[in-house]
Amino acid sequence: MKILSILSVLIFLFQPVGAQNRIKDITNIKGISSKPVVGYGIVAGLNNTGDYQRSIFTKQSFKNMLEKFGIKLDDNQMRSRNIAAVMVTAEIPPFTQLNSKFDVTVSSVGDSKSLECGTLLPTDLYDLDGNKFAIAQGPISVGGYSIEVQNVRVGKNHLLVANIPDGGILLTDLQIDIGKDKVILALKSPDINTAVNIAEAIDEITDNAASIINAGAVELIFPDSIFFSTSVVEGKTTFTILDPSLTINNKNEFLSEIVNLTITPETIAKVVINEKTGTIVIGEHVTISPVAISYHNINIKITSIQEVSQPAPFSLGQTVITTQSKIEVSSEYANLKEIRNVTTVEDIVSALNQLGATPRDLIGIFQTLKRAGALHAELILM
């Protein structure tokens, strides 16, 4: 059971050799981004799971709302537990058109027990500068449940954060700033080799339209004549200029072709550890230098075995030398010996799985390896 549990929390992010990604999946176009909006609202229709009377702002908010409908109540008359104060947040995707819908998230800000089965009343959404951009409303979905009988509660998932699919409506046009002569492709994970690959892929089908600014940005210059047709010759897309006119639609067509080009991105060696959940994510290219490990009662020795393959006499073949890793793991004390070969994290994890090490053991080992300078990867603790 220990082996199964440790395998369940280890994730190896290894891409197949030559894996291709579209440029738009690994970059963002500078000036084109989502619009964050936020609002304060009321969720109604709760089954006695709303905010308590001590949440004064909930009572005041609902009282103000009722006054808009000509209903006036004293504070001592506000005793409903079927309402809850919430913050409504959303990221409006770029290029969203006027009156289009988008998803919103609803989060309790009072002392409500659950937002299950509630309905968000119409709520104005504002950008970070205080400009009204959208409105949100509708029945919410918490993706769980809560049942309480005689002070015994059974529940699933977190019930104080909910979603409303298509709950927001855009009321103001989004301003998209596409450069007049050029745009910047910003890499989501900056890497100089990936930037070079992007520029080379673009230059293959254009007249050197791309140039590298730094490891996190590639500049794309619009051709002087942007009205064009495309054709595929020997598997590569080429552009044929038809007219010297320059329009926004032609820019979008050009960008569409560019961002759909595929490249082979470089991956950075990383090990991500979440100590709260015992989750370990190991990226590609992670290796370990010569090292000996002793953790609690676990001892690991890594040795290398070289195999020599000689060609037949008088043949034109060449001598081939291969190196294989041999890992010995024991749960008793043993004198540690120097390790002279480089092995992968996958090798060590496989050996630890056979021994039945716990996720906490692995976390401690990886942290110590990093301190010793033997783990060749960025170690990220969450």
Q: Which sequence spans correspond to the domains of the chain? A: 2-7+268-381, 20-31+182-263, 35-170
pLDDT tens digit string along 115-163?
Answer: 988 999 999 999 989 999 999 999 998 876 555 555 555 555 678 899 9
Mean pLDDT, rounded, for 227-247: 57
Amino acid letter, residue 320? V
Report the alpha-carbon distance of residue 338 to residue 63 in Å, rounded: 74
Report the alpha-carbon distance of residue 127 to residue 45 in Å, rounded: 28
Which pLDDT score, from 0 to 100, does residue 221 have? 85
Percent of the chain exceeding pLDDT 90 equals 20
Which pLDDT score, from 0 to 100, does residue 362 have? 76
pLDDT of 357 strictly over 80: no
Quote the mean pLDDT of the chain.
Answer: 76
pLDDT of 251 strictly over 60: yes
Q: Sorting pLDDT into bands at 50, 70 and 90, what band is 344?
A: low
From residue 22, how far is each of 63, 149, 210 by CA, in Å? Answer: 52, 53, 16
Highest mean pLDDT among 87-101, 142-156, 363-377: 87-101
Cβ 171 vs Cβ 101: under 8 Å: no
pLDDT tens digit string along 296-327?
Answer: 666 665 555 566 666 666 666 666 666 565 55
88-102, 198-212, 297-311: lowest mean pLDDT where?
A: 297-311
- pTM for the model stands at 0.58
Mean pLDDT, rounded, for 88-113: 91
Q: Which residues pair with 272 in a beta bridge?
A: 281, 380
Highest mean pLDDT among 161-170, 240-249, 323-332, 372-381: 161-170
pLDDT tens digit string along 34-92?
Answer: 899 999 999 999 988 888 877 888 888 888 888 888 888 776 767 778 899 999 999 99
Cβ 375 vs Cβ 271: under 8 Å: yes
pLDDT of 367 strictly over 50: yes
26-40, 89-103, 333-347: lowest mean pLDDT where?
A: 333-347
Which pLDDT score, from 0 to 100, does residue 300 have? 61
pLDDT of 97 strictly over 90: no
